[in-house]
Structure 1
Amino acid sequence: MAIETFRHDGDIIEIRLARPPVNALDPELCDALRNAIAGAVTGGAKGLVLSGSPKVFSAGLDVPHLLSLGDDRSALSADWGAFFDAARALTNSPVPVVAAITGHAPAGGCVLALCCDYRVMAKSEDPTRPFRIGLNETQVGLVAPAGVQQLMERTVGKHRAGVLLATGALVDAERALAIGLVDEVATADQTVARAVAWLQSLLSLPSAPVLKTRAIARADMIAAMSPESIQLDRFIDAWSEPDTQAGLKALVARLGK
């Protein structure tokens, strides 16, 4: 089962990514996430929590699967399209969504978190192995689409986003909090509870003003994730470039060790 759902406080639905071992985002998981969001809203949810597994929120796209597609442009477009459709489902959600970042959230995992209204990140119990979050695309030979870069810019500021994006840096939970990439840091066992508590506080306010204000505040996010801003064809064009393929294959080699 790629997705698990839980009900909190009646009107809050937790959608948990559940694809062991690292919640790699393949088309099945992305489609399941999109359907779970739609189903929860249709079912009357007033707020959503997006969570992951202990120690890993999501490690991003399933790179070994993507590389297995070779030069099949149609398949690559479909798989990447499924991911961006899932991200848009979060961005376009008519109800607030909180990311309960239960562990590492690089690349696509970070994108999903950036599409949410609020982010609570777990702090690792082992200080020598902190959980990290960020858009590390350049480290594996990719260029984050303009729309994704805009999400980072609106969250941490243009200059800091530029540095983080160019270097592909992953930051730990405390640093992420300091720069505004996440809104709270919690212990691992309290991450989902803190996400639910924030939603409960928000939902206690007059509904119509909150939702109208939220729609205005998030209009730029919706524009950033539009197909025009993502430019999937251009992204797929770059997929076969030598630097990109070398970086991705090196990543898979490291994962296999």
Structure 2
Amino acid sequence: MNDVLLAFLFTLFAGLATGVGSLLAFFAKTTNTKFLSFALGLSAGVMIYVSMIEIFFKAKDSLTVALGETEGYWFTVLGFFAGMILIGLIDKFIPKYSNPHEVKKVEDMEKSSTPIKNPDLMKMGIFTALALAIHNFPEGIATFVSAIQDPTIGFAIAIAVAIHNIPEGIAVSVPIYYATGDKKKAFKLSFLSGLAEPIGAVVAFLLLMPFLSDVMFGIIFSMVAGIMVFISLDELLPAAQKYDEAHLSIYGVMTGMAVMAISLLLLA
């Protein structure tokens, strides 16, 4: 029961990081693109390192114990790419809002401290919140199940997810605030998008707990690794490169990998 409670706490911590991002957006008068580029790179580094160095091989160990060396390795690789395909399909079919005129308005509002109260920005913010909630739901399942199997891995995943949820919170709250002038509403919608993660943990607890085994853990772990690598390569690094100056995003990646490596060594 203590492991279950700890898993829920890790997932809640990761989800609430969207609220942290929302608060940071309100306190920052201007957008620090250097910091944003470094932070996004750091998040990608954390996620890639923990996925490729730790989670993938945890999955392989579980599956080879249950299925044998060759078959277990095959299932690990298949699970890894299945995770990438799953999150890729989610990304493809979630609603997106990419009106270039609105992108320009967001750039303008970042230089201003006064809400421009444009209703189209509200649409952008709500679509972003919905998209992130859909993304966060499987992340919540992944964090919960990983923490049940190995609290060290669960903690590492929770940290990685929390780091990348902070800029997601900013992405939701800023357009909503500038559309409405209401900080409370912007924070609430940003906060709610992050709650999809603990909801995912509840679903995992109610539906998956009776079926958890070495094979189930291994498949989930391998899919988690694929999901996190996809998010890093498809979302975090391109966003970091957009604001990049003097290779800051790559230095962020290296720093994130080093931080996660040291954290895992200290927790071992």
TM-score w.r.t. structure 2 length?
Answer: 0.29
> In proportion to residue count, which structure has more strand?
1
> In proportion to residue count, which structure has more helix?
2
Higher-RCO chain (CA-CA 8 Å, sequence separation at least 6): 2
